[in-house]
Amino acid sequence: MKNILCFLFSFLTVASLKAQTEKQLQTILEDNGLPGIQLACTVNGKTTAYNLGTAKAGLKKPVTSATIFRAGSLGKTVFAYAVLRLCDRGVLSLDTPLMRYIGSYNRYDPKDPRYSMITARMVLSHTSGLAEFPDFETGEPVRLLFAPGSGYSYSGEGYWFLQKVVEKITAMPFEQLMQQEVFKPLGMQSSTYVQSNNMDAEVLGPVSPDLAPMLPNAAFSLLTNAHDYNVFLQNLLAGKGLKPATQKLMFSRQTKTPSAADTDKTFNWGLGVGLEQGNKQNLIWHWGKTDDFISLFVANPGKGQSLVFFTRGKALKAADQIVSLFLGRQTALTMRAQHFRYDNPDAMPELFAALRKHGFDDVSKIFNGLARKGKQFSEADLNYYGNVLLKQGKNREALAIFKQQATLFPQSPLAYSRVAAAAENLGGANLALTSYRKALMLDSTNVATINHIKALEKGAPTSTAHLKMFEGKYKRADNGMFLDISAVGNKLVITQSWDGGQLEFFRVDEFDFYNEEPGFTLKFTKDEQGRIWKAFVNDRPLEWVRK
């Protein structure tokens, strides 16, 4: 009986602690405007999983442990592990120039002998000199930023080159190789570099039947979940599948980055992993970003600890809080050298907590109180938080934050334009126009501000009812991809069919709309019956496909 009671007490205590942690994690999501998260963490040999919210804003289906995410650059670490396994078997050498294996490569300038210096070690440590992203459209030779081995520059292009080399010397397609070397041996049943039609199109975006399938790419196309990736990390930390010396080499410093953190020798690269060395801890890590899919892993080889999460949005702002919650403040302090955080990572959580407690009725009083405690806030942090509130539809709260931003940074055109945006959402046309004009006085070249003023002066109707006439599915004439246009609040939202990405457009004139961030334009024309029938994004025609 005593043993049963002890077991029940232990079980209830663990359940209570997990519920408390889950509540804290949910608060972090809300504070940072994240729709949900999938997270797995191993500490002291025990793995805990958390699945909260949805995989994308607007979805009703909740995140589960089976939800597949785009892992982005986290795929680089998995590929690096496979390459090192091949090195252990003598299939290739880290320091043999890769051109000796592949013979020729059509993406390089054959007249430039520097390409023949690139090795697998250089690719895995980002010292190859190759440009960051593979560009398959120009047909121009890939640029070398510096002589291979002489500097550091993060490069997905290098990983694509190494992938092509490995495919040739193994005579095996990339996906088959990764299944054989990594996924099957480690039991990663939900992981792949190739999207298939049976995957969740709501989360990942559909595989378009009108387009050629995306080629698997070691640099960014990994599809996986937190369970699988944490399994990978735990096996990596245990050295499974690698010689002990090879695992040690993977986690050893290969290069220094030209970052501010380099001044105290804390931030370097191993082979396929970033290194955080300092504060009595040596960590490995990598981040991933594909469209708005965000991921991060942190692992402590000395303690066998690992943490990985997947979400959507600007989640790296919340990384400091998440790492602190699961791996402790000491680990979070070590990770701060990456700058995956707010400018003032200790002040922002205190601000969030104070606003939850006291509300937004007297924001200046809250800021004054935090200032007396020595807390400081950057404009970037306040602007980010205000925009989070805007996207959550909390316009009154956003206006309060933006007004405080303008108070603290009175010469900032951005601050006044954000005050105007929140006021406009609240129907305060006079305050919006006054604030936009103030922003324009401080920056007379801002096209978005000019367009906002033009729209307010013309009084173009922006209610959802007025914007309904533009809703529909539009098909791009050149390649068959679709865009869905819908009225949300006082804006039009374009959703891309191929990846689910969204862009917001506000009305400038009767048929003209404008997007602030990339600066895209959206224009409509009518047919002979007076119906909206064609749209132009940056003057590219999109024909409406009627259902």
Looking at the DSSP bridge assignments, the partners of residue 535 are 524, 542
Q: What is the pLDDT of residue 269?
A: 93
Show contacts of 380-384: CB within 8 Å, 24+ apart.
380/343, 381/342, 381/343, 381/344, 381/347, 381/348, 382/408, 383/414, 383/415, 383/418, 384/314, 384/317, 384/342
The angle, 0 to 180 degrees and rounded to 10, between the axes of the packed helices 74-88 and 226-238 is 40
HSE of 223 in the Cβ direction (CA atoms, 13 Å)? 21
Per residue in 350-387, pLDDT (tens digit) is 999 999 999 999 999 999 999 999 999 999 999 999 99
Q: What is the pLDDT of residue 88?
A: 98
Q: What is the pLDDT of residue 96?
A: 98
Query: How far apart (Å, rounded) are the C-alpha atoms in residues 224 and 420?
Result: 41
Find where tokens 């801002």 sit: 446
Alpha-carbon torsion (88, 90, 92, 93), positive or negative: positive
How would DSSP label each residue in 164-184? HHHHHHHTS-HHHHHIIIIIH
Summary count for the chain: helices (H), strands (E): 20, 18
HEC letters along 332-391: HHHHHHHCCCCCCCCHHHHHHHHHHHHCCCCHHHHHHHHHHCCCCCCHHHHHHHHHHHHH
Question: What is the Cα 222 distance to its own chain's centre?
Answer: 14
Question: What is the Cα 42 distance to its own chain's centre?
Answer: 23
The reported pTM is: 0.86
Among 162, 185, 191, CA closest to 242: 185
Q: What is the pLDDT of residue 461?
A: 81
Residue ranges in 361-486 assigned as alpha helix (H): 363-372, 379-391, 395-408, 413-425, 429-442, 447-458, 464-467
Query: How far apart (Å, rounded) are the C-alpha atoms in residues 499 and 221?
Result: 13
Q: Which residues neighbour 119 within 8 Å (Cβ) at sequence distance 6 or greater?
A: 94, 95, 96, 97, 98, 148, 149
Ranges under pLDDT 70 in the chain: 1-14, 134-138, 208-214, 256-267, 279, 339, 478-479, 498-500, 541, 546-547
The token pair at 155 is 């490069």
